[in-house]
Amino acid sequence: MAADHGEPGILKLNTEIERLEKELAEQTNLAEERLEQLKYLQAEFDNFRKWSEKEKGSVITHANENLIKDLLVILDDFEQSLPSLEDEKNQKGVRMVYQKMVKILADYGLEPIECIGKKSDPHFHEVVCRKQCTDEPGTIVEEIGKGYCLKSKVIRPSKVMVAETISEEKGEKNGEREDNRD
């Protein structure tokens, strides 16, 4: 009797095993797909987080840049007023306030553009006039207006005077006219 029920029972078990193996394969594939989707979403979220932090930093930097540009006007006023103060006591006080302001702005990344004796660079300098002298042409001989960089970005170029070659020729090029009257 056990033999009669054995073969159909084995077939039934084999069929059930095949069905379960097929279902297991489908569920494994589904789990792998979900894992890939999860990895993709996690990477997408990380990219969004990085972009969001960068954007936040950009907004802060832009706000700081605008504020610092506005404060540069006051810094210029300090620089201009210091030499004109006659009372040494007042000059020391104003100089202390000026130095504190310079330090605070430097802590935010503000740096003056050094220019005297350097070659003129349109990224950092705005040439406002030229001076005929013996220095190499294009060399900055005088700073007319101080320029500044904020974290390596020029927020105000230096206004400068550059050297121009002295020409030995007479004529309109040097502002002189040749007089051909005899």
pLDDT of residue 27: 95
pTM above 0.85, yes or no: no
pLDDT of residue 105: 93
pLDDT of residue 172: 53
pLDDT of residue 100: 93
**CATH fourth-level superfamily of 113-177:** Head domain of nucleotide exchange factor GrpE (2.30.22.10)
SS3 content of the chain, % helix, strand, coil (to 5): 55, 20, 25
10-residue mean pLDDT profile of the chain (182 residues): values are: 63 92 95 95 95 90 88 89 75 85 92 91 92 88 92 92 76 49 44
What ranges do the domains of the chain cover?
113-177
Question: 118-137 burial, b if ≥16 CB within 10 A, otherwise e?
Answer: eebeeebbebeebeeeeeee
pLDDT of residue 177: 46
Distance CA 108, CA 66 (A): 12
β-strand partners of 125: 158
Q: Residue 128, SS3?
A: strand
pLDDT of residue 57: 86
